[in-house]
Every structure is written in structure tokens, then in C-alpha cells.
Amino acid sequence: MPATVVVDGTITVAETDENYVCATIDWWPHDKCDYNHCPWEYTSVVNLVGLCNSSASSLDAFRPLRIRIGGSLQDQVLYDVGNLGSPCHSFFKMKGGLFGFSKGCLNMDRWDALNNLFSKTGAIISFGLNALHGRHKIKNKVWGGPWNSTNAHDFISYTISKGYKIEAWEFGNELSGTGIGASVSADTYAKDVGKLNEIVDALYKNSNKKPSIMAPGGFFEQGWFAKLLKITGPGTLNTVSHHMYNLGAGVDHHLIEHILNPYYLSKVSKTFSSLSQTIQQNGPWASVWVGESGGAFNSGGFHVSDTSVNSFWYLDQLGMAAAYNTKVYCRQTLVGGHYSLLNTTTFVPNPDYYSALLWHRLMGKTVLGVTTTASPYLRYYAHCSKGRAGITLLLINMSNNTDFIVKARSRSNLKQVQLEAESAANNLKRSVSWIGSEVTDGSLFREEYHMSPKDGDLQSKTMLLNGIQLQLTEKEGIPNLQPIRSRLSSPLYISSLSISFIVFPNFDSPACA
């Protein structure tokens, strides 16, 4: 089916951070189970087996990959430094404990080993601190009392003394609003965010760069978030982090239907829009992160979240969030659960890993406006290309029976980018807007990255790139992600149930200059 995509390269719609893609490392132990599945293995921050060897190349391929350390058990973690006052032990199942687990502990040998890996691979780290330490349960899920900041202070001090680089200290996990396992009032939370800011100011007073303060790492509730911003005021809370699991529970048998339904996926735009308005009205100094998002909650969907079909949701989320000025998007998880980017035992990349890597390498921080004549089942996003001139289109075909033949055009005078026929060089400059003073042979090409599931099986754990299976090299390295080069005059085919990144190196895009 013919379709025209029109890109406005003259105006910046939104802007992400240069390193927009992020992944999380969680605290869940191996015996965390959901729906009769226990998919976490040994992937917790405190016991991640083989991290320093098997996954180093996976991290290094991004150089840098943002990593957010945090998760549900974050607010039960103590740090084995200073006068802890209790034994340092791992999490264990405990009746009546938050999320059914005891408190746990991070020893500093483990923290040292993790930072050694982060340093070697250039990872950018954000760390979620325990925001419940010292508090007590008042009733139901509501917690009160003052935050005991001593252990966090000592941990941050140790981190500085070792020279470990932390980009952001995040306060708490899913304690906002009504909370998930526990909740804290916005007034109390804001007061303690201020206390954390004072600690960071004091401890980093001799440092060249102070880490950001980020909060609350929870699900958006307008009134609670607005109050947090009003009370903290400018200069305290740098980043508002929120979580999203818009596909529902991992046990839902309709997950694949949700993933391939553009109308269902678009519902979450209301959250992005409302949060954006709340920040503009109450804290325009703060940036926004999606601090955690795995699609389906409770460890993800078995044989869905780690398969090819999940990339249709994941890349659509990256595109949509970016269009609402989200600076960073953290995928739950790098490793752990069904939604893991890496296999939890072999550390071999799952399909979404390659989707994340292609976005990271191709999509720049500047978001452009784009429209199309196609059906809603062709999702579309446009960014300035990363590290080069031109633009990159992301086209996601969610239809199971429609192939699209796409023409990409520039909105400025609707100059044609996808040529219908070869033109002589002297005519080419009049029909297509190019960057540069002359048309070279290379200008007649576009670069195409077409992703599709192996054998057409949406639940395959193997993704194809331009028909070639993506798999580790003989030396366990990440394969080269090579495009095919097509003449601009040739038709651009977007097959059903496929995902394509299309790079136009010389597209008319003043906003990208």
C-alpha cells in the first residue's frame, strides 16, 4: 500500500539527552516468582553472576550505556559501610516483609566490583537510595516518621572516596501517590529530598561536578507530583522520574494483542501529556526521565517480553516518550525477569537489546515533526541522525497483512526525498533539498535497517537484520549492524510486522544543523 511520510526538518519538537537509552539492574533475588515462574536467576545487584565477564561486550557496544540501579526492594537495602549496626545479609523471603522479603545489604566489595565493570565499559550510573530507612508503617501501605539519612550519607561518602562516578542519586522507588508496596506523603517526601540535596551538596563541595537529584521513581499521580515540585522548589529536584507499565500484568494472555494495537499503545500518551503539563506549571526547571518501564509488570510476560514481538512496543515507547521531551528512558531490565535485554543465564542478547542498540546508534537527540497518509498501523518517528548530517526515520509496521511502499518528503515546500525516478545531478538539486554545495554519488543513497522475527515467528528470540540472523560472533562479540544501501529512486518497502530504521544522510533539516 502506498504511503507518504512528511518530515518537518525545520523545527525541533522535543529533545532527549544524547544518551537516551538506559537499562536497569534490579535487586530481586533468584526466588522472586510471579505466576509460577521464577525468571530472575542470579541477576540481582548483590549476586549477579558473570556480570563482569559475559555482559561486558554488551555494555561496551553502547559506550556509553546508561544504567539505573534500583527497583522494588531498593527501599529495604542497607549499605555495609560506617556504623551499620546490624549484620550484612542478602534478601530472604519473609512473611510480612515488604514485597514478601526481608531487608538486604550491599557490601562494599560488591560495589567495588560493579564500579570496576562500569568504569571499563563507560557506563553512566544512576543509583536509587533507600527512602524508607528509619521510617515506620502507620497503617496499610502508609509510612511515616523521619528518614534516617546516616547510612545513605556514609554510602555516598564511600563512593566519592573511591572516585566512583554517579550521574544521579535517586530518592526512593514507587513510594509516590498511593504507592505500590508502601507510600510516603508528598510533604514528607519533599522535605527529605531537600535533606538529600543538602548531603550531596556538602559531600561534593570539592568535586568538579555534582550529581543530579532525582525523584520520586514512581507512578504518576498529578496531585502528588505537583505538590512535590512546589515544595522542593528550584535548585533541589533536578529530575522527575516516573515509571510506566502500560501493557498491564505479565500474566495477561492478550499481551501480544496489546503490543500490536496502535490504539491501545496510544492511550499512554495521556500520561506523558499530563506529566509534561504538571512540570511546566509547577517545576519547569526539572527534566523528565522514564526511570523504569518493562511493558508488562510483575517480571514481564513469559515468552513475550523477551521475544521479537516486544520490540514493537519498546521502540514505539522510545519514540513516543521522546516526543514528550523525556530526556532518558530506562528499560526494565538489562538482565533479570522476562523483560531482560540479555538472557538471564547466558547473557546472550534478546531481540530488544538490538532494538535498543540501533536506536542508540542512529537516533539523535533532536525530535522532528512527522505525519503520514498511512493507516494507524504504521507507526512513525523522526529524529536528526546521531553524529552525522541528515535524519533517521523509525517506521514500525504493526499490520499483519499490509506492506507499505513509503515515500519520505520534506515539509519545506514538500520537496521530494524519495525520488520516483533517477534525475540528472543538475535537476536533482531542484527537486530534492540537500546539505552541501554539490551532489555526490553517495547522496543518491539511503541506508536501511529492516528488523523482522526469524521465520516470521513473532515469539522468536532471534531477530533478523536485513534478513541476517543477529547472533554473537565467535569471540562472543556483538555483531556488526550493517545497513543495506538503496538508491533514492528505488521503492522503500516496509513489510508487514517489521521494524525499519531509514537513514537519509542529506535530508533537508535545518533543525539538525
User: Do 377 and 397 touch, CB atoms closer than 8 A?
Assistant: yes
Instruction: Please name the residues in contact with 143: beta carbons below 8 A apart, sequence gap of 6 or more.
Output: 132, 135, 136, 137, 175, 182, 183, 184
In the chain, the N- to C-terminal Cα span, in Å, equals: 33
3-state secondary structure 224-253: HHHHHHHHHCCCCCCEEEEEECCCEECCCC
Closest by Cα among 222, 318, 226 to 271: 222
| Three-state secondary-structure class, residue 460 | coil
Instruction: From residue 424, give the alpha-carbon distance in Å to each of 174, 215, 432, 442, 506.
Output: 60, 57, 12, 14, 17
User: Do 367 and 15 touch, CB atoms closer than 8 A?
Assistant: yes
| Burial label, 440 (beta-carbon count in 10 A; 0-12, 13-18, 19+) | exposed
Q: Which residues pair with 224 in a beta bridge?
A: none
Q: Can you tell me the distance from the alpha carbon of 330 to that of 327, in angstroms, rounded to the nearest whole number?
A: 10
Strand 124-129 to 136-139 pairing:
unpaired
- Considering just the CA atoms, what is the radius of gyration of the chain in Å? 23
Alpha helix ranges (H) inside 369-471: 425-431
The catalytic residue among 41, 167, 221, 292 is 292
Q: Is 167 a catalytic residue?
A: no
Q: Can you tell me the distance from the alpha carbon of 222 to that of 83, in angstroms, rounded to the nearest whole number?
A: 39
Q: Is 18 a catalytic residue?
A: no
Q: Can you tell me the distance from the alpha carbon of 138 to that of 250, in angstroms, rounded to the nearest whole number?
A: 31
The catalytic residue among 41, 167, 174, 448 is 174
Q: Grid cell 541506508 — which residue?
A: 447
Q: In 10 A of CB 306, how many CB atoms?
A: 24
Q: In 10 A of CB 159, how many CB atoms?
A: 22
Greatest distance between any 2 Cα atoms in the chain = 79
Chain center to CA of 340 = 12
Strand 142-144 to 136-139 pairing:
antiparallel
Strand 498-504 to 391-397 pairing:
antiparallel
Burial 332-350 (b: 16+ CB within 10 A, else e): bbbbbbbbbbbbbeebebb
Lookup: cell for 276: 509534561
Closest by Cα among 144, 141, 128, 139 to 185: 144
- Active-site residues, by number, are 174, 292
